[in-house]
């Protein structure tokens, strides 16, 4: 069974631009979560989507948004990029929603650099 895939793997953007990252979960998984990983803040939860609905949200500004499609694929969008948005963005999928206590399977991440 194929794992979680994320595209693109690397991205360089300029301040003020917007970016869209994509995540394809493991086949059959309906929950997709997004995380930001930085050396200073560590791993921080952005949000979770399940059955095309946002189920949980971390403490991030509204510039960070996402959506999930009927095939469970998910996209994350960051508008008006700031230098501090430079990070590794990880996507994880789970069979059911996170509140069920199930484990997550992570993709390799998208490395975003904002200049």
Partner 1 sequence: AQSVTQLDSHVSVSEGTPVLLRCNYSSSYSPSLFWYVQHPNKGLQLLLKYTSAATLVKGINGFEAEFKKSETSFHLTKPSAHMSDAAEYFCVVTANSNSGYALNFGKGTSLLVTP
**Positions that interact with partner 1 (CB under 8 A):** 4, 35, 42-45, 55-56, 90, 92, 98-99, 101, 103-109
At residue 108, the 3 state secondary structure works out as: coil
Smallest separation, CB 108 to partner 1 (Å) = 5
What element of type H or E holds 72? Answer: none
The CB-of-15 to partner 1 minimum distance in angstroms stands at: 25
Do 18 and 41 contact (CB within 8 A), yes or no?
A: no
By beta-carbon proximity to partner 1, the closer residue of 8 and 16 is 8
User: Which value, to the nearest 10 degrees, does the dihedral of the CA atoms of residues 109, 49, 24, 91 take?
Assistant: 10
Minimum CB distance to partner 1, residue 115 (Å): 21
Q: What is the C-alpha to C-alpha distance for residues 113 and 78, in angstroms, rounded to an integer?
A: 12
Least distance (Å) between residue 84 CB and partner 1 = 18
CB 114 within 8 A of CB 63: no
């Amino acid at each position: 069974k194929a794992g979680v895939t994320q595209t693109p793997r690397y991205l360089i953007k300029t301040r003020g631009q917007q970016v869209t990252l994509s995540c394809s979960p493991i086949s059959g998984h309906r929950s997709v979560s997004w995380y930001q990983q930085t050396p200073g803040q560590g791993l921080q939860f952005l949000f979770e989507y399940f059955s095309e609905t946002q189920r949980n949200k971390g403490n991030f500004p509204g510039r960070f948004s996402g959506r999930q499609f009927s095939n469970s694929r998910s996209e994350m969008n960051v508008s008006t990029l700031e230098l501090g948005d430079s990070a590794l963005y990880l996507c994880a999928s789970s069979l059911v929603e996170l509140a069920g206590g199930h484990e997550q399977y992570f993709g390799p991440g998208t490395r975003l650099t904002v200049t």
